[in-house]
Structure 1
Amino acid sequence: MSELHVEELSADTIVAANSLSLKPGQEEFIAPTTYAVAMVVADPQKTWQRVVLDGREVVAFVRAYFDDESPTDYLRAALWRINVDANAQGRGAGRFAVDAVIAEARKRGLSRLTVVYEAGDGGPEAFFRRVGFRPTGESEYGEVVAEIAL
């Protein structure tokens, strides 16, 4: 992957973003699309959505949430969703997407970014650790809360 770049999610890229494939077993770690869409409708100004393209091909989708007034500390600056196409996994698209979110968080003057995920074999924990997130606790639902200092 040599031509990676980030673009805002648009009418031109949404179908490709919704069509990203997963490796077998990963679907159990992804929240339903309807849940993700509901969040955007509820807070469109606080949601940052982008696609990662390799040349002209959408290879990943990333959503972050920024709300410095959130009563839930770990949701003030959070990587909310990252989907990397099965064929692009392990080739740098995920790290590129996380770096884009980190750059946006820094631009907003934030000092940390969090992510919430379910632990388990085949889950995203190894990826999040590789890109610098460290577990700091659990959500009220028993999910792992991890953070990266900016």
Structure 2
Amino acid sequence: MDTPHLAEVTDDNLGDACRLTVAPHQRDYVAPVAESLAQAYVQPGVAWPRLVYAGDQLVGFVMGAFDPTCPIDYFQHGIWRLNIAAEHQGKGYGRFAVESVLAEARRRGAQAATVLWKPGEHSPEPFYLKLGFHPTGQVHEGEVVGRRQLWT
């Protein structure tokens, strides 16, 4: 595995970002990158979109959400989107992306971070549980709310 790193979305990498696709069986569980970037455009003070590279190869996209004044606590700090290209899954890039968002949440003073996932046969739930997220018992529009403490 090449050492992964994050990069901002720019004019130079936008097209590649929008062409990034997850495995076909995952498409019902995560929005396409282009939709995420549109959401980031209309919520620039909240969205934190980043591309995940391994060396110079684009392998994924992650978007954090940071809105500490949001009245819905599970939307204050967390992972809004995670797309790892189908051919690059299982190589640690998803874990790197999640940990990068959590590091940014810590930098911003968050005590915990959240992620929401849709339950189902190909749900990312096992992935998030393995990374230390725990279901809160809350459900938002059919998605399970998971939380992970950031400080011990």
Q: TM-score range by the shorter chain?
A: over 0.9
With 35-44 and 77-86 compared, the bigger mean Cα shift is at 35-44
Matched, 1:104 2:104: yes
Structure 2 residue aligned with 1:91:
91
Runs of 4 or more, structure 1, over 3 Å off, are 32-35
> Displacement, 1:32?
5.3
Q: CA RMSD in A?
A: 1.6
Cα displacement string for residues 21-80 of structure 1 (whole angstroms, at most 9, x for unaligned residues): 222311111235565344323320221111110110110100011011101110000200
- AA of the residue aligned to 1:138: Q
Change (3 A) 1:37 1:4: closer
Deviations 1:93-118 (A, max 9, x none): 00000011011001001111100110
Aligned residue number for residue 77 of structure 2: 77
Long gaps (5+) in structure 1:
none
The answer to whether the Cα contact below 8 Å between 2:62 and 2:82 also exists between their aligned partners in 1 is yes
TM-score (norm 1): 0.92
Aligned partner of 1:43 in structure 2 is 43
Query: Once structures 1 and 2 are overlaid, which stretch shifts more, 33-42 or 91-100?
Result: 33-42
Aligned length in residues = 150
1:137 corresponding residue in structure 2 = 137
